[in-house]
Amino acid sequence: MIYLDHNATTPLHPRVLEAMLPYLRERWGNPSSPHRVGHQARTAVEHARGRIAEHLACAPAELVFCASGTEADNLALRGVAHALRARGDHIVTSAIEHHAVLHTCRALEAGGLRVTYLPVSPAGLVEPRALEASLDAGTTLVSVMHANNETGVLQPLEEIAAITRRRGVVLHTDAVQTAGKLPLRLAELGADLVTLSAHKLYGPKGAAALYVREGTPLSPVTTGGAQERGLRAGTEDVAAIVGFAEAVALACEDLAHEGARLRALRDRLERELVAAVPGTRIHGALAPRVPNTASLGFPGVDGESVVLGLDLQGICASTGSACSTGEPEPSHVLRAMGCSPREAQGAVRLSLGRETREEDVAAVVRALADTVERLRRISSA
- Single out the residue of 29, 68, 40 nearest to residue 203, CA to CA: 68
User: Is 242 or 361 the residue whose CB approaches ligand PLP more closely?
Assistant: 242
- Single out the residue of 130, 105, 107 nearest to residue 115, CA to CA: 105
Q: What is the nearest approach in angstroms of ligand PLP to the Cβ of residue 381?
A: 37
User: Is 124 or 309 the residue whose CB approaches ligand PLP more closely?
Assistant: 124
d(CA 353, CA 113): 39
Q: What is the nearest approach in angstroms of ligand PLP to the Cβ of residue 26?
A: 28
User: Is 146 or 261 the residue whose CB approaches ligand PLP more closely?
Assistant: 146
**CA 260 to chain CA mean position, Å:** 20
Q: What is the nearest approach in angstroms of ligand PLP to the Cβ of residue 347?
A: 15
Q: What is the nearest approach in angstroms of ligand PLP to the Cβ of residue 288?
A: 16
Q: What is the nearest approach in angstroms of ligand PLP to the Cβ of residue 206?
A: 9
User: Is 174 or 302 the residue whose CB approaches ligand PLP more closely?
Assistant: 174
Q: What is the nearest approach in angstroms of ligand PLP to the Cβ of residue 87?
A: 27
- Buried b or exposed e, range 355-377, using 16+ CB within 10 angstroms: ebeeebbeebbebbbebbeebbe
Q: What is the nearest approach in angstroms of ligand PLP to the Cβ of residue 309?
A: 23
CB atoms within 10 A of CB 86: 8
CB atoms within 10 A of CB 29: 19
- Single out the residue of 161, 113, 119 nearest to residue 139, CA to CA: 113
User: Is 84 or 210 the residue whose CB approaches ligand PLP more closely?
Assistant: 210
Residues marked active site are found at 323
d(CA 132, CA 156): 13
Burial class (CB in 10 A: 0-12, 13-18, 19+), 203: buried
CB atoms within 10 A of CB 218: 22
- The angle subtended at Cα 250 by Cα 8 and Cα 47, nearest 5°, is 105
User: Is 76 or 273 the residue whose CB approaches ligand PLP more closely?
Assistant: 76
Q: How far is CA 104 from CA 77, 97, 143, 206, in A?
A: 7, 11, 11, 20
d(CA 197, CA 191): 17
CB atoms within 10 A of CB 37: 15
Across the strands, what pairs with 296?
282, 348
User: Is 152 or 309 the residue whose CB approaches ligand PLP more closely?
Assistant: 152
Which amino acid, one-letter code, is at 215? G
By the 8 A CB rule, do 9 and 199 touch?
yes
Q: What is the nearest approach in angstroms of ligand PLP to the Cβ of residue 176?
A: 4
Give me the residues that bind ligand PLP (CB under 6 A), please: 68-70, 73, 98, 100, 145, 149, 174, 176-177, 197, 199, 208, 321, 323
Residue nearest to ligand PLP (CB): 69
d(CA 190, CA 258): 25
User: Is 195 or 280 the residue whose CB approaches ligand PLP more closely?
Assistant: 195
The span from the first CA to the last CA of the chain, in angstroms, equals 31
